[in-house]
Chain A
Amino acid sequence: NAGVTQTPKFQVLKTGQSMTLQCAQDMNHNSMYWYRQDPGMGLRLIYYSASEGTTDKGEVPNGYNVSRLNKREFSLRLESAAPSQTSVYFCASSAGQGSLRGYTFGSGTRLTVV
């Protein structure tokens, strides 16, 4: 089925370790997004890529980096994981910024930093 695929689904890291969360979409969407979800905090935008070749900071970018590898793929990197980054991470895509069809979300990566 068409959609947004995130890997891995679960991950446990030790403080200070690094890792990259992968995201790929097969809907030929131009824009991609990374969110984190914490209890009671809703969905907070970390970084987004309005189109291939561009990336911008969202609401909570500190401690993260992103790469828009090509039109399909948008990765999120934690260089030195901290317990505060324990969260569920969602990747999403849309036809473009301001697309009236909203976003399509992946099923999430559950990250625990110990």
Chain B
Amino acid sequence: GQQLNQSPQSMFIQEGEDVSMNCTSSSIFNTWLWYKQEPGEGPVLLIALYKAGELTSNGRLTAQFGITRKDSFLNISASIPSDVGIYFCAGQNYGGSQGNLIFGKGTKLSVKP
């Protein structure tokens, strides 16, 4: 089945630094989504991308849907301690079980005050 490669696996950064993470696939997706999971909680949707080349922001977060439809990127600017968590990318297609989300393995973000 389809698999997503998400990198980096983990990041340790200083408060105020910018963060970049990405997700790649061997096959195309029609939708890319980014989730954040805080400790002890379930993942929460941050950003959804529906069109190749689309760039969407949500506060300090910016995500892009790659032109090839095989990748997506998430950037966090001026990180703060509450950005700590695991960030998951997810790809989705249309129709039947293809509509199920495929998740990356996550990027664990640690922010040092």
List A residues at the B interface (Cβ < 8 Å).
Answer: 4, 33, 40-43, 45, 48, 50, 56, 58-59, 90, 92, 96-108
B96 close to A107 (CB less than 8 A) = no
Please name all residues of chain B whose beta carbon is closer than 8 Å to the beta carbon of A96 when the two chains form the complex: 99
B78 within 8 A of A: no
State the CA gap A47–B36 with chains docked (Å): 22
State the CA gap A33–B33 with chains docked (Å): 17
**A42 touches which of B41, B45, B48, B88 (Cβ 8 Å):** B88
Please name all residues of chain B whose beta carbon is closer than 8 Å to the beta carbon of A90 when the two chains form the complex: 42-43
B65 within 8 A of A: no
List B residues at the A interface (Cβ < 8 Å).
Answer: 1, 6, 9, 31, 33, 35, 40-45, 48, 50, 88, 90, 92-101, 103-106
Please name all residues of chain B whose beta carbon is closer than 8 Å to the beta carbon of A45 when the two chains form the complex: 100
State the CA gap A99–B100 with chains docked (Å): 9
The residue on A at minimum CB distance from B9 is A40
